[in-house]
Amino acid sequence: MLIRIILGLGVTVACFAIAGKRFFWLSQLIRSGQPAPRRFQGFSKKIEAEVVEVAGQKKLLKWTVPGLAHFFVMWGFTILLLTIIEAYGNLFQRDFHIPIIGTNAFVGFIEDFFAVMVLVSLTTFSIIRIKNDPKRKERSSRFYGSHTGAAWLVLGMIALVIITLLAYRGAQVNTGNFPYESHWAFASYAVASWIDPLGSTFNSAFETIMLLANVGVITGFLVFVAYSKHLHIFLAPLNIGMSRRPRALGGLDKTPDMDMENVTEDTVFGVGKIEDFTWKQMLDFATCTECGRCQSVCPAWNTEKPLSPKLLIMGLRDNMFSQANRLIAQKADEGGGEAGEVETLVPFTIDPDVLWSCTTCGSCVEQCPVDIEHVDAIIDMRRYEVLMESRFPSEAGLFLRNLENQGDPWGLGASKRLEWTANVDFEIPVVTDEIPEDVEYLYWVGCAGAFDDRGKKQVESVARTLNRAGVKFAILGSKENCSGDPARRVGNEYLFQEIAKGNIETMQSAGVKKVVASCPHCFNTIKNEYPALGGDFEVVHHAELVEHLYRNGKLKPGTNYTGTVTYHDPCYLGRHNRIFDEPRSLLNAIPGVTQVEMGRCREKGFCCGAGGARMWMEENIGKRVNMDRTAEALGTGADIVSTACPFCMIMIDDAVKANGREDVRVMDITQVFEQSLLEPVAAVPAAAAESENSAPEAE
């Protein structure tokens, strides 16, 4: 008895000391990051996240088989904490049991049930890993680039925890030391029946050996977790609790102070070195599970570009660990961190092509089971590249100059912002000083709506639809500027803030309260990012407003269109702002429309390739993102590919034409609505649909 006490406690103390030292070191490292404002706000939301995502495993359960397997492993280890207490008690007393519940038959059943389910789940994980072996599937495997050896080792260690547990419990049954007399502890009694013929002496020795092995494997597993990617077992609940709601999407996390009058030689804009990241971002890096969920949905990775959100986070984590002693010393103000020249993250850790391939679609963030915020990290590094190093794709320089000098990415100028209004047969008020009292909404047209021919057709259709419903709206005309989204997503935070502040001043001086926008990028920026700069407006997307008008009887679709429509979810309308149902509801309201969904839709919708300022940058690596998405849309057999974003319309329409599919049209949801009011038509070829956006007859 004394020997097993000494061995059990000795191993435990040693392992806890090793793991404890590592966790203390990790806490120092993570706390060396920059401040992360607002991460401790919204306590009720954080509790909800812990209940839903950690305890309920909501995100993981979207993937039914692996999700259930993870659910049983997570809850298995939680429930089996009781057996750990029992194991340490057995070191001192061979028939130890937890007071009150320690002899309850149901508790014995629950423990054995979860022990068996953990083994079943481990088998499931093994099959999944074999089927998705990166050596065989290469880039198509979500485990490509992950530390697969460590994954197999942890599966083995978890299996050993359960095997040694059931082994010593089975021996306890045969030696009379098992507290659960009922056979409800079915797995333990099954093991007991297998080893009972070996005799009492064997069972007594086997009980001690397996008990010590169980304690050793558990404490050894703790050390392994502290030094491996499986840190997420402890860090995931913390990271999820510190994430932004909902799903860390919408507006970017930080609005840096861009006071250019007080710039010194020590001023850093964006993230150039690992120490420039916030502590929350460093926590993100340490929490990554290398599961590859983000990688498998990334439009850049799926079109053969070098960006894998997983590999990017892993690279930043490796850099953070390699710089750890310097970072900790700097934080402690010991001066040890200033020695030598420190290389910038780009290009030494992150290849420039990786950084500039991102469309900021948010698929990675949406899929991540531990709430890592990949997009914010990418934008932070872009800020440094643009503002500190002036390193960015040459095409980006052109549209940034156009934004700065002409107020739009195309450089066409404010004088052309009203040209689209010539194609509607009613007068649209233009705000000069103050918005008219009888006007409810400012219609934010956006650059694509004002300057691109396809975008113009969208805003014309929206304007006619609002007018038909009796909605009073006005526009800024030449006073409207770019919302600043392209500047911010490409990394020019200074230009974004200058543009945004100008727009906010214009709208506030005009007395604007409500804004309706057709471009999801403008919508997202004004709604989610302007408030940090003092611009608080009630912002809706036209999909929301038009669907609301239909539900309230202000709009009635016609019966003159019959055909099949597939709806493409714009990333900044759907994933970033959770507007999935309204566009579909409006399409469903049209009697002749048959909706067909693409395989990747709603939260899993695939990007068109235009986000993250990629609209104005060349796509020279791999397959074009818009071609990939459009192939999926064409595969549905739909007559119309509908969306609610001018960028998406441009990108998908280009790809439809490149495929030679003149029989398929790309239209905004309001254009489809208007089509139902025109002359009867089933499937009009694009070349013959020039008049589809002319003003329809009044109802």
Q: Does residue 335 carry a pLDDT above 70?
A: no
pLDDT band at 690 (very low <50, low <70, confident <90, very high): very low
Q: How long is the chain?
A: 699
* DSSP per residue, 344-390: PHHHHTS-HHHHHT-----HHHHH-TT---HHHHHHHHHHHHHHTS-
Both tokens of 436, joined, read 């008219």
Please provide the CATH number assigned to the domain covering 405-548: 1.20.1050
pLDDT band at 59 (very low <50, low <70, confident <90, very high): confident
Give the number of other CB atoms < 10 A from CB of residue 101.
Answer: 12
Q: Cα–Cα distance between 252 and 478 in angstroms, integer?
A: 28
Q: Which residue has the higher pLDDT, 402 or 243?
A: 402
How much is the pLDDT for 158? 93
User: 343: Cβ–Cβ under 8 A, 6 or more apart, which residues?
Assistant: 273, 349
Q: What's the CA dihedral at 20, 21, 27, 28 to 10 degrees?
A: 160
- CA 495, 498, 502 angle in degrees (round to 5)? 140
In the sheet that holds 593-595, the strands lie side by side as: 593-595, 563-567, 640-643, 665-668
Same fold, 32-42+229-253+266-334+349-391 and 405-548: no
Please check whether residue 479 is in contact with residue 601, taking contact to mean a CB–CB distance below 8 angstroms: no
- Point out which residues pair with 667 in neighbouring strands: 642
Residue 244: strand, helix, or coil: coil
Q: Does residue 55 carry a pLDDT above 80?
A: yes
User: 321: Cβ–Cβ under 8 A, 6 or more apart, which residues?
Assistant: 29
How much is the pLDDT for 246? 58
Q: Cα–Cα distance between 269 and 531 in angstroms, integer?
A: 21
Mean pLDDT of 581-586: 96
In the sheet that holds 441-444, the strands lie side by side as: 473-474, 441-444, 514-517, 538-541
pTM of the model: 0.91
Both tokens of 417, joined, read 């912002």
In CATH terms, the fold of domain 32-42+229-253+266-334+349-391 is Fumarate Reductase Iron-sulfur Protein; Chain B, domain 2 (1.10.1060)
- Of 374, 387, 379, nearest to 280 by C-alpha is 374
Per-residue pLDDT tens digits for 281-296: 999 999 999 999 999 9
Please check whether residue 292 is in contact with residue 314, taking contact to mean a CB–CB distance below 8 angstroms: no
On the 0-12 / 13-18 / 19+ scale of CB atoms within 10 A, 311 is buried
Percent of the chain scoring above 70 in pLDDT: 95
Mean pLDDT of 592-598: 95
- Of 300, 356, 303, 305, nearest to 631 by C-alpha is 303
Q: Does residue 575 carry a pLDDT above 80?
A: yes
For the chain, give every domain's residue range: 2-21+63-227, 32-42+229-253+266-334+349-391, 405-548, 557-688
Give the number of other CB atoms < 10 A from CB of residue 569.
Answer: 28
Q: Find the helix packing angle between 200-226 and 186-195, rounded to 10°.
A: 130
How much is the pLDDT for 687? 39
Residue entry with tokens 């999700």: 67
- Point out which residues pair with 515 in neighbouring strands: 442, 539
Both tokens of 13, joined, read 């103390």
Residue entry with tokens 């198509």: 140
The CA distances from residue 427 to 148, 430, 467, 642, in Å, are: 64, 9, 10, 28
Both tokens of 131, joined, read 């089927």
Please check whether residue 601 is in contact with residue 391, taking contact to mean a CB–CB distance below 8 angstroms: no
Q: Cα–Cα distance between 336 and 204 in angstroms, integer?
A: 56
Per-residue pLDDT tens digits for 149-203: 888 999 999 999 999 999 999 999 999 998 887 889 999 999 999 999 999 999 9
Q: What's the CA dihedral at 506, 512, 517, 520 to 10 degrees?
A: 70
- Of 575, 577, 625, 628, nearest to 602 by C-alpha is 575
Q: Cα–Cα distance between 624 and 649 in angstroms, integer?
A: 15
Q: Which residue has the higher pLDDT, 132 or 41?
A: 132
How much is the pLDDT for 50? 87
Please check whether residue 58 is in contact with residue 240, taking contact to mean a CB–CB distance below 8 angstroms: no
Per-residue pLDDT tens digits for 399-453: 999 999 999 999 999 999 999 999 999 999 999 889 998 999 999 999 999 999 9
Q: Find the helix packing angle between 2-31 and 200-226, rounded to 10°.
A: 10
- Of 271, 364, 359, nearest to 310 by C-alpha is 364
C-alpha radius of gyration, the chain, whole number? 30
Residue 515: strand, helix, or coil: strand
How much is the pLDDT for 265? 77
Q: Mean of the per-residue pLDDT values for the chain?
A: 91
How much is the pLDDT for 488? 96
In CATH terms, the fold of domain 557-688 is Rossmann fold (3.40.50)
Q: Cα–Cα distance between 382 and 270 in angstroms, integer?
A: 7
Phi and psi at residue 92, to the nearest 5°: -95, -30
Alpha helices in 510-640 (DSSP H): 520-524, 542-551, 581-589, 625-634
Residue entry with tokens 């002409």: 406
Give the number of other CB atoms < 10 A from CB of residue 340.
Answer: 7
- Point out which residues pair with 441 in neighbouring strands: 473
Please check whether residue 561 is in contact with residue 595, taking contact to mean a CB–CB distance below 8 angstroms: no
3-state helix, strand, coil in the chain (%, to 5): 60, 5, 35
The CA distances from residue 51 to 47, 215, 496, in Å, are: 6, 30, 38
How much is the pLDDT for 692? 40
Residue 42: strand, helix, or coil: coil
Alpha helices in 183-253 (DSSP H): 186-195, 200-226, 232-241
Give the number of other CB atoms < 10 A from CB of residue 1.
Answer: 10
- Of 7, 9, 18, 28, nearest to 223 by C-alpha is 18
pLDDT band at 689 (very low <50, low <70, confident <90, very high): very low
Per-residue pLDDT tens digits for 481-509: 999 999 999 999 999 999 999 999 999 99
pLDDT band at 90 (very low <50, low <70, confident <90, very high): confident
Please check whether residue 115 is in contact with residue 165, taking contact to mean a CB–CB distance below 8 angstroms: yes
Q: Which amino acid is at 481?
A: N
Q: Cα–Cα distance between 516 and 293 in angstroms, integer?
A: 35
